Chain A
Amino acid sequence: MSVSREVVERLAEMTRIGLAHAEAEALGRDIEAILAHVSALQEIDTAAVEGAPGAGSDAPLREDVVAASLPVADVLANAPQQADGFFVVPAVFGE
């Protein structure tokens, strides 16, 4: 189980976490150790398990009735930047 700096950087980009090189290397070592530990799972025979357990079955359903939304002021109360009722972010370029 080798987790190279490149792999860490790829994971970091996927999850949008900026990482300094040094940090990526340290994290790579930690992740490698964790993965080595959890690799014990591969030894366990799970052939008898049918269907992975989820959050149970028979999800409750909500009736299709409109309920009050938040006041716009509350929606934007924690916004780092806003204008005319919109959340504002620097331009979404490409990707």
Chain B
Amino acid sequence: MTEGILHRSFLDLHELMARREISSVDVTRATLERVQRLDPDVGAYLLVTEEQALAQAVEADRAYAEDRANALTGIPFALKDIISTLGIRTTCGSRILENYVPVYQGQVAGRLLESGAVLIGKTNMDEFAMGSSTEHSGFFPTRNPWDRDRVPGGSSGGSAAAVSAGMAAFALGTDTGGSIRQPASLCGVVGLKPTYGRVSRYGLVAFASSLDQIGPIARSVPEVAAVLGVIAGHDPHDSTTLRAEVPDYRAGLTGEVRGLRIGVPKEYFPDTLESGVAAAVSQGLASLESLGAHLVDISLPMTDAALSCYYIVAPSEAMSNLARYDGVRYGLREQAADVWTLFDRTRERGFGAEVKRRILVGAYALSKGYYEAYYVKALEVRALVQRDFEAAFQQVDVIAGPTSPTTAFRLGERLDDPLSMYLADAFTLPANMAGICGVSVPCGLAGGLPVGLQILGPKLGEQTILRVADAYERSAGFNVLVPPLTFGAPA
């Protein structure tokens, strides 16, 4: 079987498997071979679960033979290594969890495995999802399959790169400030951040609990819709999940956007926006207009404030969420004569610089004397960011603009300047602050690198944004952007 099949939609693969024209074992084996060939140059995976994958593929083929398969059965996928998997090491990209093996199954991992999807492995990420380039992985950076001197974005860079390079049909990422949409944009794939509470966080290693959300990354909108349908829904283990019914997301992909009002916020087109990005996004918007949608100029005045707000709220929650990594119950332990020194040394050695930075900022913002000025103020501004969007969605159905202000930047380029790294999320993190949904869909290339069009919708507006993204994807004519892989051993 040729590897070419690995860039086809998994919905097609599912049809082929249902007709017994290919088997899950074939597809899984081909995927594993591709990983073996390409990943030494990409570094998308932290762990490849080859043996389990083949066993699952055999089981999936049996499911097809017995007519109990669904669209995900037998499909190779990857999980960001922040999503707990029973019996499979889950490091969160951190040395502090290098040898941690969960003894319980996370909710989404469970749902996907029960649907018969085949887990290829766990993908690389910025440590504890703190970063926008995957360079902050505690193990190694991931490279962008489009240009290996450039970052894949982050923090779900491993997931986006794996999907982009055909090393998984789909992957799950997590998005706290843009960590699904931004790497999807930089790697030329589709990435969806669902509404806060749409997908269970039970088993998701927490970074910033009020912002974190798991979502799918795939090469096309219908595939993203199919995965969302499986992972979305209420979970009694996560008190923040929504009780709303899960619609048939794929059925909503009608290709129809006539009469739809698309808000274009002026704040998302600043002077500093890369010209190539601006051009590709404008072209994308123009094609939506030509499909019958109305473009409406809007303003989201809290866009800049959202960034400042994010860098208080997220580190504060992270400071608390990461306090449990103390070397007592699991994970790394540095030896010491007393427990306090043990804590200090374990955390000194186990956490990278970016994680430490954010923990300390969080402690600062929450400490006596600063709490009101920083944390409380940030929560108030967060409410204003929400109002910004609520007001906008009175006027328009969706909001569209660039996902990232730039295309993929060079490895190392922003490593020494945390603030410039943070700016990579300027257009994505307001959605997290407001708890709304957003999707990034490829809208062409700039300088040979992918550009993403971001479409934001109100809470539980997944159907609408997916419909817009799908309509655009169909009209754009490049259903899938395939990176011109110039590396790896010959097939």
Contact = CB atoms under 8 A, between A and B. Distances in A.
A59 B382 CA distance: 21
A30 interface: yes
A39 B382 CA distance: 15
B339 A89 contact: yes
B344 A78 contact: no
B331 A41 contact: no
A44 B333 contact: no
A85 interface: no
A66 interface: no
Interface stretch (B98-106, B151-159, B224-232, B483-491): B98-106
Contacts of B308: 37-41
Nearest to B197: A56
A81 B427 CA distance: 45
A74 B304 CA distance: 46
A83 interface: no
Interface stretch (B263-271, B359-367, B449-457): B359-367
A92 B339 contact: yes
B65 interface: no
A63 to B, nearest CB: 10
Interface string B337-348: 111111111011
Interface stretch (B252-260, B372-380, B396-404): B372-380
Contact of A77 (B103, B240, B382, B386): B103
A17 B364 contact: no
Contacts of A35: 361, 364
B466 to A, nearest CB: 24
Contacts of A59: 239
A15 B323 contact: yes
Given A55-B210, A90-B339, A41 B319 contact: no
Contacts of B336: 90
B338 A15 contact: no
A46 B377 contact: yes
A95 interface: yes
Most buried by B among A37, A41, A55: A41
A70 to B, nearest CB: 6
B326 interface: yes
A51 B310 CA distance: 18
Contact of B356 (A27, A79, A80): A27
B305 interface: yes
Contact of A53 (B319, B363, B379): B379
B357 interface: yes
Nearest to A20: B348
A12 B311 contact: no
Contacts of B377: 41-42, 44, 46
Among B101, B104, B348, the one with the most A-chain Cβ atoms within 10 Å of its Cβ is B348
A37 B419 contact: yes
Contacts of B236: 60, 62
Given A12-B360, A46-B381, A41 B345 contact: no
Interface in B309-338: 309, 311-312, 319, 323, 326-333, 336-338
Contacts of B338: 90-93
B431 to A, nearest CB: 15
A30 B240 CA distance: 33
Given A31-B361, A52-B379, A89-B328, A17 B344 contact: yes
B10 interface: no
B490 to A, nearest CB: 41
Contacts of A81: 333
Nearest to A17: B347
Interface of A: 3, 7-8, 11-12, 14-19, 23, 27, 30-31, 33-35, 37-42, 44, 46, 49, 52-53, 55-56, 59-60, 62, 70, 74-75, 77-81, 87, 89-93, 95
| 10 tightest Cβ-Cβ pairs between the two chains A and B | A78-B330, A18-B348, A18-B344, A46-B380, A80-B333, A52-B379, A74-B103, A16-B343, A38-B308, A49-B380
Interface of B: 99-101, 103-104, 197, 209-210, 236, 239-240, 304-305, 308-309, 311-312, 319, 323, 326-333, 336-345, 347-348, 351, 353, 356-357, 359-361, 363-364, 367, 373-374, 376-384, 386, 418-419
28 contacts: A12-B360, A15-B319, A18-B344, A18-B345, A31-B357, A34-B418, A40-B304, A41-B374, A44-B384, A49-B380, A53-B383, A55-B209, A60-B239, A78-B101, A79-B329, A80-B327, A80-B328, A80-B330, A80-B331, A80-B333, A81-B333, A87-B329, A90-B337, A91-B338, A93-B338, A93-B339, A93-B340, A95-B340
Given A31-B364, A38-B311, A41-B374, 12 more contacts: A16-B323, A16-B347, A18-B341, A27-B356, A33-B419, A37-B311, A38-B308, A38-B374, A56-B197, A78-B329, A80-B327, A91-B338
